[in-house]
Amino acid sequence: MDPIALPTQPDTFPDQAASFALDGPAGKLECISDVAERTEARRGTAVICHPHPLQGGTMHNKVVTMVERALRESGLDTVRFNFRGTGASEGVFDNGNGEGDDLAAVVAWVRQQRPDDALWLAGFSFGSYVSIRNTVRLGANALISIAPPAGRWDFAHLDPPQCPWLVVQGEEDEIVDPQAVYDWIDSLAKKPELVRMPETSHFFHRRLMDLRGAIKHAVHEWLPPLRG
């Protein structure tokens, strides 16, 4: 889609799937929002972060879209967005620093539109690093981390989230070392719920539906109340 055609900064949270641009710290941020079925809708919105932009990661990644589906089917409205320099988002890659500010800009818009909603964050690979790194400062109510790249990025100095937190790790991940993830989790005073998925690669090839089920099962007890 031509980025010029994207509606800019909606005044309200769209009531159906929508593409739009938000004002970010480095220029426009390309976003997609979606809404849960009315009868299942919960008082919560999830913001989802994608993999490494310089390695082909975008908000259209199959793992990202499956995470979005799992959370939407659980009753949360969702927002995906492209980090700076990705797709129609303006700016250039900033090694996770500016990307955290991009996430903060999207969260600020969500909170403006949905001030009473619980805020959930989710991310895959590099996107999980960005979301974990910013969970405390953004005051998120829950966090989902898929294949967090421990050992590839500096996780030693992250401020550990205190909210409900799920980590899903494929045991045959060829990009993120599963043992590095397990060792990092073991080092934490407050540990996330960990789901180890056997015979599963980094991109969950042929296991995406299993990923969907694992997320829905794990977060069921954390869900906010129905919108009513």
How many CB atoms are located within 10 Å of the residue 156 CB?
Answer: 8
Q: Are 74 and 42 in contact (CB under 8 A)?
A: yes
The H or E element that residue 79 is part of is strand 77-81
Q: Which pTM value belongs to this model?
A: 0.96
Angle between helices 97-113 and 126-138 (to 10 degrees): 60
Domains of the chain, start order: 3-221 (3.40.50.1820)
Q: How far is CA 132 from CA 49, 68, 137, 172, in A?
A: 10, 17, 10, 22
Each residue's pLDDT expressed in tens, for the chain with a length of 228 residues: 344 467 788 999 999 999 999 999 999 999 999 999 999 999 999 999 999 999 999 999 999 999 999 999 999 999 999 999 999 999 999 999 999 999 999 999 999 999 999 999 999 999 999 999 999 999 999 999 999 999 899 898 898 899 999 999 999 999 999 999 999 999 999 999 999 999 999 999 999 999 999 999 999 999 999 997
Sheet of 165-170, strands arranged across: 18-24, 27-34, 77-81, 44-49, 118-124, 142-146, 165-170, 193-197
Tell me which H or E stretch contains 194.
Answer: strand 193-197
pLDDT computed for residue 157 by the predictor: 86
d(CA 144, CA 28): 26
Q: Residue 158 and residue 163: Cα distance in Å, rounded?
A: 14
